[in-house]
Amino acid sequence: MNILVAVDRFEDKLSSREANNYIEEGIHKVLENSQVVKVPLFDGSKDMIDGVLQWNRGKRFQWNVLGSQLQQTKVTVAGIDKNLYIDCSTLFNNAGQLQETSSTGLGQVILNGLDLGYEAFTVALGNSTVMDGGIGMLELLGVRFFDGNGDQLTGPLIAADIKRIRNIDVSSIDDRLAACEFTIISDKDYYLFGSHSHAADIVADTEELKTMDNNIWYLNEQFKKINFNLTRPSYGGDGGGLRAVFSEILSAEVITSKEMIFRDTNIEHLLEEADMIIFGGGTVNASKGSLVSQAIMDYAAAGKKYIYLTAGQQLPSDDTNIYHFNIYPEMTADTQDIQIGIQLQNTVMTLMRMQK
């Protein structure tokens, strides 16, 4: 029997890779001769680096750069052929004072990549909290920002520096960028500012939200002076506006994590070839699952066995061709990874015995 295992993460408890391994072990304990193919997944906010390095041969780099509040942060990136993969969730998470956040660390990572000869950059924006509109990154890449006196603002620049900007000059941007291709992974269609912006999704205080909105609106007005419009992309707000900055200034392509996974792996072919597909994931809050899980559901057809394993509040599918099992409905923030792993393995072993 050919079995495809493509399970998402279970919150921060169990990564896609770890969940897939528990399931594979459970399958082989019962069906020793089954052929198991595992596809590690990510949802735009977690596990991208581990995932792409399992899909392809590549190099893993660890660099010390500046985090969202200019603290020293160790970031892991992946180099595959000429493409450098960057997961912003490891750079820009757990930010406290949003006015003090900076994207400078992302600029450092890109410069490191350029120095190593990389010509393409894939940047995942999910689960990142940075609200400087990309000025920290851009300043490091050579864009010059000037205040009302004509003096150049020097970095690291933070969100609070936006209000000091009166003019922007992109003529000195690193000329190596012209030959580079950028791909942005974004699963959130935030507007740049307003009630459906990234800031509105994470900021509860009305005055703080107004400040963040005014910052991004004002920054866009400065970019308009040099014929860049950050609102030109319909949904540029993810990453506090980084999605729009990459699209408008660096001509980036924007795709979802589902589109990346289906493009960079042969998962469509694997779905066709498999006799059984095991997929799913777990969330503490009510969720329909990742975009990839939803896409796999769309492939469900009679004649194949689709096993959907979830935990917590991840919702079942309405498709009668999909068999749903919530292996750990009581999953909370305190649940241990081993608890979920054992439940996954035991459930799969039971299902395989029934199959046998």
Question: Which residue spans within 243-338 are E strands per DSSP?
Answer: 253-255, 276-287, 305-314, 322-328
Task: Tell me phi and psi for residue 245, to 5 degrees.
Answer: -60, -45
DSSP H or E stretch at residue 9: strand 2-10
Q: Map residue 236 onto helix, strand or coil.
A: coil
> Amino acid identity of 66?
L
Q: CA-to-CA distance for 61 and 305, rounded, in angstroms?
A: 39
Structure tokens at 167: 């003019």
| pLDDT digit string, tens, across residues 56-105 | 889 999 999 999 999 999 999 999 999 999 999 888 876 678 899 999 99
Q: Which CATH superfamily is domain 48-258 in?
A: Glycerate kinase, domain 2 (3.90.1510.10)
Residue 44: is its pLDDT beyond 60? no
Question: What is the DSSP secondary-structure string of 73-133?
Answer: EEEEEEEETTEEEEEGGGTS-S-S-GGG---HHHHHHHHHHHHTT--EEEEE-TT----ST
pLDDT per residue over 217-276, tens digit each?
A: 999 999 999 999 999 888 999 999 999 999 999 999 999 988 988 888 888 899 999 999
CATH code assigned to 2-39+265-355: 3.40.50.10350
Q: What is the pLDDT of residue 43?
A: 61
CA distance 83 to 8: 24
User: Per-residue pLDDT tens for 110-164?
Assistant: 999 999 999 999 999 988 889 999 999 999 999 999 999 999 999 899 999 999 9
Per domain, the residue ranges of the chain are 2-39+265-355, 48-258
Question: Cβ neighbours of residue 47 under 8 Å, at least 6 residues apart?
Answer: 9, 15, 16, 17, 40, 41
Average pLDDT, integer, range 273-301: 89
Q: How far lies 151's CA from each of 116, 168, 216, in Å?
A: 32, 11, 21
Predicted local confidence at residue 203, as pLDDT: 81
Q: Which residues contact 38 (CB under 8 A, 6 or more apart)?
A: 5, 6, 17, 20, 21, 24, 54
Residues comprising the chain, all counted: 356
Q: What is the pLDDT of residues 333-346, one digit of tens each?
A: 889 999 999 999 99
In the chain, the amino acid numbered 197 is: S
Residue type, 21: N
pLDDT digits (tens, 9 = 90+) for 314-335: 999 888 889 999 999 999 888 9
Largest CA distance in the chain: 78
Residue 328 three-state SS: strand
